[in-house]
Amino acid sequence: MLVVMQSHAAQSQIDKVVQVIEGQGLTPHVMPGATRTAIGITGNTGAVDKSLFEVLPGVEEAIRVTKPYKLASREMKRDDTTIQLAQDTIGPKNFTIIAGPCSVESEVMTVKTAEHLVSRGVKFLRAGAFKPRSSPYSFQGLGLEGLRILEKARAETGIGIVTELMDTENASAVEESADIIQIGTRNMQNFSLLKRVGKCRKPVLLKRGMSATLEEWLMAAEYIMAGGNYQVILCERGVRTFSDHSRNTLDLSVIPPAKALCHLPIFVDPSHGTGKRAYVPAMSLASLAAGADGLLIEVHPEPDRAMSDGAQSLDFAALDALLTRLKALAPAFGRTV
Amino acid sequence: MLVVMQSHAAQSQIDKVVQVIEGQGLTPHVMPGATRTAIGITGNTGAVDKSLFEVLPGVEEAIRVTKPYKLASREMKRDDTTIQLAQDTIGPKNFTIIAGPCSVESEVMTVKTAEHLVSRGVKFLRAGAFKPRSSPYSFQGLGLEGLRILEKARAETGIGIVTELMDTENASAVEESADIIQIGTRNMQNFSLLKRVGKCRKPVLLKRGMSATLEEWLMAAEYIMAGGNYQVILCERGVRTFSDHSRNTLDLSVIPPAKALCHLPIFVDPSHGTGKRAYVPAMSLASLAAGADGLLIEVHPEPDRAMSDGAQSLDFAALDALLTRLKALAPAFGRTV
Amino acid sequence: MLVVMQSHAAQSQIDKVVQVIEGQGLTPHVMPGATRTAIGITGNTGAVDKSLFEVLPGVEEAIRVTKPYKLASREMKRDDTTIQLAQDTIGPKNFTIIAGPCSVESEVMTVKTAEHLVSRGVKFLRAGAFKPRSSPYSFQGLGLEGLRILEKARAETGIGIVTELMDTENASAVEESADIIQIGTRNMQNFSLLKRVGKCRKPVLLKRGMSATLEEWLMAAEYIMAGGNYQVILCERGVRTFSDHSRNTLDLSVIPPAKALCHLPIFVDPSHGTGKRAYVPAMSLASLAAGADGLLIEVHPEPDRAMSDGAQSLDFAALDALLTRLKALAPAFGRTV
Amino acid sequence: MLVVMQSHAAQSQIDKVVQVIEGQGLTPHVMPGATRTAIGITGNTGAVDKSLFEVLPGVEEAIRVTKPYKLASREMKRDDTTIQLAQDTIGPKNFTIIAGPCSVESEVMTVKTAEHLVSRGVKFLRAGAFKPRSSPYSFQGLGLEGLRILEKARAETGIGIVTELMDTENASAVEESADIIQIGTRNMQNFSLLKRVGKCRKPVLLKRGMSATLEEWLMAAEYIMAGGNYQVILCERGVRTFSDHSRNTLDLSVIPPAKALCHLPIFVDPSHGTGKRAYVPAMSLASLAAGADGLLIEVHPEPDRAMSDGAQSLDFAALDALLTRLKALAPAFGRTV
């Protein structure tokens, strides 16, 4: 159920609606919009009586939401969600670049990468301290030491930190260090982890599962939002199909329906999507054209020496060339890089 | 095997190489390029002796081609193929729009659509006279009468005709009427049909099979080229995956690898790719950005009354709006719409 | 629409119903069953008036069929279809083995294989005279000469011949030579070819398309049946998925729903399904257990010298061992090998 | 690296090898077999010197293992793994049934189900206390209270308990209550969870991920084994494909290659695989025929009143009928139900 307030509704009227919802043993989610406030209701197992709310002062209407996801749906919140961070705002007016190496390999390479990014106007650094690897014998990341290095890179350059959380054990540590918490593709339906980051105060970048439908992906976002954390960024990174010309099949066609059904920002990871650095620039430009709000790109000072994912990482020169093209193209889509 | 001639090679030297190839019981394919001519050799079941050719005057080198496709490969022909038609040139400097209804429904609507397209600078009309339908009880197209209507639309407006050939019986009729012969997705590995259009003198637009790998698709192009028809246009139209947010999963990520491996032009059909008209504009812009050479779009004067595929057809106003955006964007990709 | 006759209905009553159907410009399909005759109606574009038939003498009821396939559906024909051939009956009481090499390579090996099969009680030989190959440069089969060899093998051993038809040009020749006409996976939606074999008087073995849904497959069968040829055998041969442990993903789970929705026999091709001979026996036994009516297996006198598909072909000893196990197991499923 | 001991090797010789391995900073995994002991070595980042071990007394040979999985591979351990539980032995001589409701709904229905199973000779009860649900608003299981109920069912009937662990927080509780710990499909690559159950002393039933390749699945088993828990049971439960006739595409064809590459037992879950109870019996029989070591089946006293997965649950009568068929068929595969 969604209670839509009149555009002139007073705060006291909003508070009253919240009070009535709670009085029914349900959970209110106040979502202020550009012109009016909407209040989502979750926690009901059966139908909720609309008339209960429609008689309250300041209420315009109460709407039954028919999608299995509620808080993530456009029905619940018509306006695009923007996410305000210290470094920049993520949302429909910007095209935000998050770049960096697959994993934090050392302080030197991490700070060097952060410095290069900042010099080119990139506001966010991605790098994994905890790495999900398909082999137990592969490098698993520097762990807490990696988080320290990321904090140092931010302290020295001001760059925002995006890093993956793999389990609830390290949730507090990652929440402390990161500006944006990444949930990886293999954990998109790790519901215990989703519930945990629903309690975090930092935005969450939620990668699409390798074979997740759009609805399952939005339901994963719903898990996080149902916990009270409404700052969720979707990130398409390629799905698994029969197709073998690329590491995964980057599904840019999910962007228009995701935008139609859901108000959250959506990013694209063309590095994992293609698996080959030569194809990253074209798919980055196509992501912008398809309506994405930003990119998550793998960049490494020396891709051929990377401890992981070197084949899909751009070097600094290739990143610079791509940024030049994106900056030139973005205004045609009403955005700024 | 590919015999690369020196850049100053005389025609008589080329003729000699052709003669030697034929003397071995093999088939030569002379492919003139911007700076030099290359001669592909097919028909060998085992290895061919390189030295046989390298000693001939005017020959720079003989190269073993390792891909299973030869004539379609970049190894065989480095330059992008351009296809010259009366109405326009298809290739890397243009972004060519082919638009029209799913099927020829009547003369009135076909001519009306052609007139609108021509008035907006669109040079090619697509419309099916023969329709592959999954049910034997559905409308199967107007057949030869449909071809007559298409010819009439061309006679009245000058527009080029793109229409599907479903079987060898109608090959001569379609070849006669069409400017570009379309091979549909369900026939991508109908090898008898591919061989037949390899004998046609008209360019062939070859749609990707519903679950074809890039290599299988290029091998299908190879079938046509091996018959002597080098004018092949690839057309991505969405592949079949688990994903259910769209009719098919439009695989724009195939464009960069297809361009890297193959010299043929590649188009995108965002109408079949998405199945929903609301998503067509975003995917059209993304196709341009991803490196495509053109679009195949379904347009109908009254989409809601279309006999087939209405849900994915644009009306004239939506097409006009899209064309405006494409024209503005194309120069950033070195192309003209 | 399906008109179900009373169990004691006279032939004259059936004829009357047929006449009324034809009088409406529709097509009657008389389908005699074990206890009663049903008459399917196709050709209608809109709804047909039930009462038109329910008032006729001998009619029990007229039923609207809601599936897009009609003649193939269980609603239309409750009893399992059996197909009577000179060599054996295909249907629910038997588990029929069709075995042989991928392609007819020579008379010697073909006759040798036929002799071995007959000595082991196998009634049908499969071998391709026309071969659909993904490369235009691969062996394309012996063509008409291959058909002559197959006829010779039958003349010498009495074995039934199953061979593929790839195009309408060769339809008469293949219909003449074959006991069962095979339609390959790549032609499952070659609608012109389906219509053509709908006119043949020989049973058709219809392989499932590489990415065909069950409904699309049944619609392909419907194309053949709508033409008047009701003797269709479905054949599962693996579908295309992300999975890479086998050449295709053999979908045995399609058998129970196919049996529930459709009355036609269903075979399994474990050779193409797995692509590796070591896995063929286990999947053959599993096919029997899952409810299949027979197998299409690749067998070659010397698999390692086969011109195609050697890796997935059994040799004679392996076939014999498999036959022994199948014969022992079949009675548990109410069948005879 | 794998060190294979001679068949008469003394325990002291084995101990010496272990000592040398540890002396290199590596991890030994002693795996006793039917005729000889093998000792796997993990923890090496580069190559290990074979000669180091081949000179030791009692060593037959040292073998480099080329698969990315080592402990799970047949190269490492030739004999099928058997898992000894109080209730029964899982392995190549048995066909083990694990049955029960999707979730623990109440003590009454759980005990009732356990009693019925035990009366039919079924030794293991499956039921979820913690439920991974795609919606945060769906019933999430009874949690710790569910574990109490399962313990009670075991106390009253002696049945073994199989239940899912979703996160590391509840690992100790589930390890305490369960006889076999289930890892669900969505957590197959939750590496933190895999590492945690690698430390458990209870066998782990590892479901295949929804789009996991065989290699990824075996690598997930390797994560558990690398932690020291060698008692892993693989469980196929259907993969995600384009196919829509069943909830998932049950991939029975994975059984023969899994058996060829890996020594662990493999089960099949036909309930999730098909999603429809009518198809469960046929796929259960086919699983046995394909070489599986057991089944995981959903059974509910009143499927139509189940809180989850009712459509795919058998009732008691259907289970009984299936057991009768399985018991009759198992000896043909050298197994006992």
Asked if residue D316 has pLDDT above 80, the reply is yes
Q: What's the mean pLDDT when you consider all of chain C? A: 93
Put simply, whether C216 touches D (Cβ < 8 Å) is no
User: Closest Cα to residue C298, out of C286, C289, C283, C290?
Assistant: C283
Contact C64, C34 (CB under 8 A): no
pLDDT at A88 over 90: yes
Question: What residues in C contact A241, CB-CB < 8 Å?
Answer: 242
Q: pLDDT band for D165, please (50, 70, 90 cuts).
A: very high
- Residues of chain C above pLDDT 90, percent: 76
Flag the least confident range among B140-149, B157-166, C21-30, C89-98.
Answer: C21-30
Whether B79 and chain C come into contact, CB under 8 Å, resolves to no
C190 and B191 in contact by Cβ < 8 A?
no
Confidence of residue D201 (pLDDT cuts 50, 70, 90): very high
Q: Residue D98 belongs to what H/E stretch?
A: strand D96-100
- 3-state secondary structure at position D137: coil
DSSP string, D197-264: HTT-SS-EEEEPPTT--HHHHHHHHHHHHHTT---EEEEE--B--S--SSSSB--GGGHHHHHHHB-S
Summarize pLDDT for B72-114 with one digit per residue, the tens: 999 888 899 999 999 999 999 999 999 999 999 999 999 999 9
pLDDT above 80 for B45 = no
Contact between chains at D135 and A42 (C-beta distance less than 8 A): no
Q: Which residues contact A194 (CB under 8 A, 6 or more apart)?
A: A183, A220, A223, A224, A227, D136
Look at residue D42 in the predicted model and tell me its pLDDT: 82
CB pairs under 8 A between C and D: 125
CA dihedral C39→C45→C47→C52, nearest 10 degrees, is -50
Percentage of chain A exceeding pLDDT 70: 99
Average pLDDT over residues B202-215: 97
Q: What is the predicted pLDDT for the residue at A45?
A: 66
User: Which band of pLDDT confidence, cut at 50, 70 and 90, is reported for residue A170?
Assistant: very high
Supply the pLDDT for residue D48. 77
CA distance B259 to chain C (A): 20
pLDDT in tens, A177-197: 999 999 999 999 999 999 999
Q: Residue C311's pLDDT is what?
A: 87
Q: Is the pLDDT of residue D65 over 80?
A: no
Interface contact D242, partner B, CB < 8 A? yes
Residue closest to D269 by CA, chosen among D245, D241, D247, D243: D247
pLDDT band at B52, cuts 50/70/90?
Answer: confident
Residue B139 and residue B104 in contact, taking contact as beta carbons nearer than 8 Å: no
| D137:A42 CB<8 A | yes
Q: Residue B134: which of C45, C190, C216 has the nearest Cβ?
A: C216
Using the predicted structure, report yes or no on whether residue B33 has a pLDDT greater than 90: no
State the smallest CA–CA distance between residue D187 and chain A in angstroms: 6
Residue A309 — pLDDT band, cuts 50, 70, 90?
Answer: confident
Nearest CA to CA, how far is B246 from chain D (Å)? 12
- What pLDDT score does D45 carry? 66
Higher pLDDT pick, B327 / B51:
B327
Q: How far is C209 from chain B (nearest CA, A)?
A: 10
Which domains does chain D possess? Answer: 2-63 (3.30.70.1140), 83-333 (3.20.20.70)
pLDDT for A36 equals 79
Closest C-alpha among D112, D67, D95 to residue D213: D67
| Cβ–Cβ under 8 Å, residues D232 and D224 | yes
Q: What is the pLDDT averaged over residues C150-158?
A: 98
Of the candidates B43, B134, B169, which has its C-beta nearest C168's C-beta?
A: B169
Does any CB of chain C come closer than 8 Å to the CB of residue A241? yes
Between A51-60, C213-222, D147-156, the lowest mean confidence (pLDDT) is in A51-60
Q: How large a percentage of chain D has pLDDT more than 90?
A: 76
Helix (H) or strand (E) holding C287: helix C280-290
Is B242 within 8 Å of chain D by CB? yes
pLDDT band, very low/low/confident/very high, at D270 (cuts 50, 70, 90): very high
Specify the pLDDT at position C45: 66
Rounded CA separation C329/D264 (Å): 26
Q: Is B295 on the interface with A (CB under 8 A)?
A: no
D157 touches chain A (CB under 8 A): no
pLDDT tens for C36-79 read 788 888 877 667 788 888 888 999 888 777 688 989 999 888 89
pLDDT band at D252 (very low <50, low <70, confident <90, very high): very high
Provide the percentage of residues in chain B whose pLDDT is more than 70: 99
**Among B147-161, C244-258, D18-32, whose mean pLDDT is lowest?**
D18-32
Contact B137 C223 (CB under 8 A): no
Pick from A39-43, A221-225, D42-46, D277-281: least confident: D42-46
Contacts of A30 (CB under 8 A, 6+ apart): A14, A18, A37, A39
Question: Is C236 in contact with C251 (CB distance < 8 Å)?
Answer: yes
- Residue B249 φ then ψ, to 5°: -100, 105
d(CA C284, CA D286): 10
What's the pLDDT tens digit per position in A251-289? Answer: 999 999 999 999 999 999 999 999 999 999 999 999 999
Kindly list the residues from chain A whose CB atom is less than 8 angstroms away from the CB atom of residue D68: 134-135, 137
Which residues touch A287 (CB under 8 Å, ≥6 apart)?
A: A252, A255, A268, A270, A295, B286
The alpha carbon of residue C158 is apart from the nearest alpha carbon of chain D, in Å, by 32
Residues of B in contact with D242 (CB under 8 A): 211, 240-242
Report the amino acid identity of residue A210.
M
Give the separation between CA A100 and CA A161, rounded to whole angstroms: 10
Parallel, antiparallel, or unpaired: how do β-strands B294-298 and B96-100 relate? Answer: parallel
- For the ranges A64-73, A316-325, C117-126, D242-251, the lowest mean pLDDT is seen at A64-73
**A282: distance to nearest CA of chain D, Å?**
27
The helix-helix angle for B316-329 and B280-290 (nearest 10°) equals: 20
| Of the candidates A231, A268, A264, A325, the residue with the CA atom closest to the CA atom of residue A79 | A264
Which residues, in sequence order, are bridge partners of residue C89? Answer: C84
d(CA D191, CA D216): 12
Cα distance between residue A133 and residue A140, in whole Å: 6
C300 and C313 Cβ atoms separated by less than 8 Å = yes
